[in-house]
Amino acid sequence: MLVLVAPGQGAQTPGFLTPWLDLPGVSGRLAEWSAVSGLDLVHYGTEADAETIRDTAVAQPLLVAAGLVSAYALFDDPRAEIPARVGAVAGHSVGELTAAALSGVLSDEDAVALVRKRGLAMAEAAAVTETGMSAVLGGDPEQVLAHLEKLGLTPANINGAGQIVAAGTAEQLAALSAEKPEKARVMPLKVAGAFHTRHMAPAVAKLESAVKDLTVSDPRVPYLSNKDGRAVASGPDAVERLVNQVSNPVRWDLCMETFQELGVTALLEVSPAGTLTGLAKRALPGVKTLALKSPADLDAARELIAEHAAPARSAAE
């Protein structure tokens, strides 16, 4: 069984969209998505510097666009083959919008338009107080969680494989760097706010309004939620979870537990890949992984699909 996964914020790097523009149809697709999002995705994905694309309102649409472009490049007929051949989809944080489009819950256009509104709302919420996030690597998980609680920090991402992401104010994060949990390292992340915490509550209200008129469908591919790692059967339920997700913790550890329960044999991370495959290599021994970082990885990715995805069905079937 093959799963497709989509990374979250912080995975973007300057120029990461550039090689994808050489593929047929990609420029036109990005132009369409730029129009619906009000953001020049080609410019920001090819020419903008690291600080510019760190902006939440820019980074999030870029990530969803790159994830969709790279996923669709894997298949001759993505809309037919993804539901028929992929065992499940999941995304980390904003990657859930990518997964929602891949699963058919939202159209590509609605996913890109919504993620732009999400990014703007979260950036506005982040501007109220100086906040951020830091990865805590290693240490005993229970001790790490107790230490974060002591400092007033929120475990915003519980990623498994020995990684918990703490979120809170700049002062709280400084205290964490000065007083690390036993046997743990602390690494500040390139994000602009304390995402998936109470600091994002204002963004939830804006997203609730933004999704009211969306056309929503039930998933055509099992869609795993960051809330609890479980597959979501209903489109409206999936969208409700997407809205509330911005102020709730990301439980990627539970998503990976569900991968194990499903009997997943291969995990393919769409562009800009690397983070989730790294976690999977440590938490899912025996599962083959591939990070689709650029078109240079497409041949290897297609070989993985041929080996682990459900067989392609003929038109007669």
- Active site residues per annotation: 93, 196
Q: How far apart are CA 291 and CA 270, in angstroms?
A: 7
Q: How far apart are the first and last CA of the chain?
A: 20
Q: Which residues of 299-315 are buried (b: 16+ CB within 10 A; e: fewer)?
A: eebeebbeebbeeeeee
Helices (H), 199-251: 201-210, 235-245
The residues facing 29 across adjacent strands are none
The residues facing 184 across adjacent strands are 138
Q: How far apart are CA 207 and CA 195, in angstroms?
A: 14
Contact 83, 218 (CB under 8 A): no
Pick from 165, 110, 115: which is nearest to 137 by CA?
Answer: 165
Q: How far apart are CA 98 and CA 8, in angstroms?
A: 10
Query: Which DSSP letter does residue 250 get?
Result: B
59 is written with which tokens? 């980074």
Neighbours of 288 (CB within 10 A): 17
Dihedral sign (CA 57, 62, 64, 65): positive
**Rounded to 5 degrees, what angle do the CA atoms 184, 6, 300 make?**
100
